[in-house]
């Protein structure tokens, strides 16, 4: 039946082409008037079935309605059809023999099969677009805990600062809250601490262990160390602008908003919100206070008025964010996630990296210390990428960094630097492509998530470096790790960038492996079945999200997958899975 339908469709197209080449001069068939209605018409980007294509429409939206990338293929098929039709017309005057009929029959069958495949692809692409539009609206922005007062939170004196959470090479982070918020006012009164002329801090001997700290201190304040930025707010924001890339619009509406008006239009990008990317709720400058542990942990970066031997300036940048319980490194020290849970954790990192790539940002410092973790109601970890101080986020160059000399900053964390970055040689026209560098780092971090030492941290006398390693030297993941995950890690760590999958394709591989194991088996990999599976997943995810007030990690991951659904990337991921399984 399928062959008969394809043959009938091919003969209809052949007859249409015959009329086109034998009719009197005039408007070309299908180009001067609306298309003949049918399920395959108008199913390209942004159109709906039955939509007419007028005279002013673009060429790619006419005829067979193929996307732009298939225009050459379509014209090639049309040219072949035209030659066959001219031969057919010439021979028809003298009678068509068996050979000519066979040629025309083969032509009709081939053209019909091509048209059926194209129509199937258009239906699949359109369904993916519809699903994507639905779940893009369902993925709501992260809540701002300071929403009660948009003009509040831009002064350090408004915050109650607790104990230190950690420090790095450029900043220290403290837990904090705003006691003026109604929910925190009673807690602050019980602790006998209210904001005064300076930021209040909780002495260690007055801490109440009975009170959960994440409820008392829902915020974290990051104090940057100012050694060379000067003391003016404009200079501080200009020098530390990379830290503001994940800042929300409200965060930039205070003091920074006034400074930004005097800055050039082209500058660092601001990321759109994403559940796996940290959000900065407030950004402001203030005088450096003497916070708990400062004299012991970072005396050299304090201003001279606080420490005689300090080298820091009197004023610096403060960032207010959500307070997360721990980093990924701290979580993995006391927890050993199972294979499925570890796969979902790796998937979250790939979703975050894909969002960065789509926004034209490269993190360039991915490591377990720069990934924060919180747990859902079931104890499943949710990962968030933070610390953008080394990121590449330039409107002018995107992800292509001109590498004219060794003085150009390649980014932080040399151990997890992708081979194309670590081996780059400077030159007048040299460029470092960061489009897949963070995805490579996720492949290296997968070893830590699955309970193995990271091979690129160099243990022993023979360090395993990204500059010189060979793919055959990569240690094997345990057999308990799913096959698809093992193959994906190998694929992400390929030295050849052209063979390495993008973060989007890699994320789709894990999505298909986690949720579509039985439906998308090798023998059943067909577009119609894939679309049916996507529709089932969409309905189930919408139902699960509506039944619970706070979605679990698995539901949120499915919503992200459906919100980022792209037909080409999905097909690429499915083909990768098929090739890996067929090789066994």
Residues forming the active site: 365
Q: What does 492-539 look like in DSSP terms, one character per residue?
A: HT-S-GGGSPPHHHHHHHHHHHHH-TTTT-GGG--HHHHHHHHHHHHH
Other residues' Cβ atoms within 10 Å of the Cβ of residue 344? 21
CA distance 539 to 532: 11
Report in angstroms the alpha-carbon separations of 376 from 324, 382, 554: 12, 7, 10
Residue with tokens 């460029």: 431
Residue 30, φ and ψ in degrees, nearest 5: 80, 0
β-strand pairing of 371-375 with 381-385: antiparallel
Task: Give dist(CA 245, CA 231) in Å, integer.
Answer: 21
CA distance 135 to 297: 46
User: Could you tell me if residue 411 is left (phi over 0), alpha (psi between -120 and 50 degrees) or otherwise beta?
Assistant: left
Strands 315-322 and 371-375: unpaired
Rounded-to-integer distance, Cα 104 and Cα 16, Å: 14
Are the C-beta atoms of 290 and 223 separated by less than 8 Å? no
d(Cα 29, Cα 210) in Å, to the nearest integer?
A: 80
- Count of CB atoms situated within 10 Å of the CB of 245: 21
Q: Write phi, then psi, for 390 (nearest 5 degrees).
A: -110, 10
């Amino acid at each position: 039946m399928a062959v008969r339908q394809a043959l009938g469709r091919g003969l209809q197209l052949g007859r249409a082409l015959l009329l086109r080449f034998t009719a009197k001069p005039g408007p070309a068939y299908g180009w001067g008037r609306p298309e003949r209605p049918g399920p395959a018409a108008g199913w390209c980007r942004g159109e709906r079935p039955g939509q007419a294509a007028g005279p002013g429409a673009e060429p790619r939206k006419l005829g067979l309605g193929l996307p732009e990338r298939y225009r050459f293929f379509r014209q090639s098929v049309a040219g072949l059809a035209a030659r066959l039709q001219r031969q057919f017309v010439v021979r028809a005057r003298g009678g068509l023999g068996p050979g000519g009929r066979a040629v025309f029959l083969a032509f009709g069958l081939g053209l019909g099969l091509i048209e059926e495949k194209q129509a199937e692809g258009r239906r699949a692409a359109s369904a993916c677009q519809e699903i994507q539009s639905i779940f893009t609206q369902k993925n709501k922005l992260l809540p701002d805990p300071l929403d009660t007062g948009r003009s509040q939170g831009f002064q350090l004196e408004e915050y109650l600062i607790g104990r230190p959470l950690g420090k790095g090479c450029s900043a220290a982070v403290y837990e904090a809250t705003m006691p003026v918020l109604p929910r925190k006012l009673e807690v602050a009164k019980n602790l006998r601490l209210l904001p005064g002329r300076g930021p209040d801090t909780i002495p260690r001997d007055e801490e109440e262990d009975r009170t959960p700290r994440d409820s008392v201190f829902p915020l974290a304040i990051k104090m940057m160390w100012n050694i060379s930025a000067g003391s003016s707010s404009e200079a501080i924001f200009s020098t530390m602008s990379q830290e503001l890339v994940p800042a929300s619009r409200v965060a930039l509406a205070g003091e920074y908003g006034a400074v930004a008006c005097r800055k050039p239009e082209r500058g660092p990008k601001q990321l759109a919100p994403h559940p796996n990317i940290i959000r900065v709720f407030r950004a402001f400058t203030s005088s450096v206070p003497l916070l708990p542990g400062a004299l012991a942990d970072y005396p050299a970066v304090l201003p001279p008025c606080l420490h005689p031997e300090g080298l820091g300036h009197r004023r610096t940048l403060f960032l207010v964010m959500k307070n997360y319980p721990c980093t990924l490194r701290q979580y993995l020290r006391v927890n050993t996630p199972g294979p499925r849970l570890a796969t979902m954790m790796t998937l979250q990192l790939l979703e975050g990296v894909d969002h960065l790539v789509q926004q034209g940002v490269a993190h360039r410092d991915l490591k377990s210390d720069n990934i924060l973790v919180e747990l859902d109601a079931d104890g499943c970890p949710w990962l968030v990428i933070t610390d953008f101080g080394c990121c590449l986020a330039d409107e002018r160059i995107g992800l292509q960094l001109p590498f004219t000399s060794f003085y150009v900053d390649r980014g932080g964390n040399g151990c997890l630097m992708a081979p194309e970055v670590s081996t780059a040689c400077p030159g007048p026209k040299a460029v470092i492509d960061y489009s897949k560098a963070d995805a490579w780092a996720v492949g290296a971090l997968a070893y830590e998530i699955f309970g193995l030492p990271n091979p690129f941290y160099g243990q022993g006398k023979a360090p395993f470096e990204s500059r010189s390693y060979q793919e055959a030297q990569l240690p094997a993941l345990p057999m308990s790790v799913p096959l698809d995950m093992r193959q994906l890690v190998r694929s992400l760590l390929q030295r050849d960038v052209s063979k390495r999958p993008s973060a989007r394709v890699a994320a789709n591989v894990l999505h298909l492996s986690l949720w579509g194991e039985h439906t998308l088996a090798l023998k059943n990999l067909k577009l119609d079945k894939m679309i049916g599976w996507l529709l089932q997943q969409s309905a189930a995810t919408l139902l699960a999200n509506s039944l619970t007030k706070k979605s679990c990690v698995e539901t949120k991951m499915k919503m992200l997958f459906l919100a980022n659904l792209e037909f080409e990337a999905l097909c690429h991921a499915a083909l990768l899975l098929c090739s890996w399984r067929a090789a066994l």
